[in-house]
Structure 1
Amino acid sequence: MRSETSEKMRAQKNDAYFEEIIEKNKYKLYRICSIYAVNPIEPEDLFQDVIFQIWKSLEHFKGTSTIDTFVYKIALNVCMRSKMKFEKTNDKTDRFQSIHFTPIENEIDASEQEKFRFLKECISTLNETDTSLIVLYLDDLSYKKIAEITGFSENHIAVKMKRIRKKLFECIAPKIK
């Protein structure tokens, strides 16, 4: 009886901790998913997959990094895996481009949506490593935090980011005119 009660309390504590982590990081996670997936529905599916993988992996979190770093790593891995899987079956898959979904709470003016679309198009031309770096950078993470998540050195991140920003500027500048 006593072990059953303590097990329930531990499960409730874990559920509360999981919910707290997701609530804290949900917007960041969704942004990452929206970079790796095609709108309108795919980011939501990918987001659910990321949340599920975080839930499954949470018991393996050892605390050697921050929980945010742990969550970012999972999100990037799930998104990159999903993108690779899609690219393998791309010629066999039809996308539903005609379905348009705009969450009411996140309405953005048309010019901002267009700029985001241009940025997303340019990001999609980058390789996997550069894409993951720019996604983390756009979430306002420091080079130190990006290095911790990716395993690269801070100096390497700085050099890569300078090159990535240049590529993105060259890509997006003609589109924004």
Structure 2
Amino acid sequence: MLYLASQSPRRRQLLEQIGVTFKVIDVNVPEHRAHAESPREYVSRVAREKALAGLAAQSDPKAAVLGADTEVVLDDEVFGKPSDAADAAAMLRRLSGRVHEVISTVWLVSRKGEWTDTSLSRVRMADLDDATIAAYIATGEPFGKAGSYAIQGHGARLVAHLDGSHSGVVGLPVFETARLLRAHGLIGA
């Protein structure tokens, strides 16, 4: 049985979209970047910790658990989820007119082993004026989203160019996830 160690509705939707059968596990993993940890190492560690926490909660010896993490990175700074509207506005101002990276890593763990894959995307934001930022924040969409935007929603209007994985920016790189699941017999071809 496959378990998803995430409460993210977007991750659930992306797995359902490709026909994966799974159950959701609620895990609580601290998301704090360690000193001298690169953004890519941080994202990978958090995703792995989520998967391992999910596996530890399962008594089924055949359980396989998927953990994922997605973060927005600009100038080596990881932009997490905004704490409030002012924080969201500050993030969006910094992203405005610039190219940033979105790192999305997935880990599949079971009692047999651990496997991982990562999607790296580059996103160029449009030039955002204060009125555009305020209007976007008023939608409520930036909250709970890394980097304060959702490419799958109203935030798509803010993205000038995407080079990489749309689903990876949403929160679960579908191609990489399907490749892992297929390689370990959890989905068909």
Which TM bucket (shorter chain)? under 0.3
Indicate the structure with greater strand content.
Answer: 2
TM-score, normalised to structure 2, is 0.26
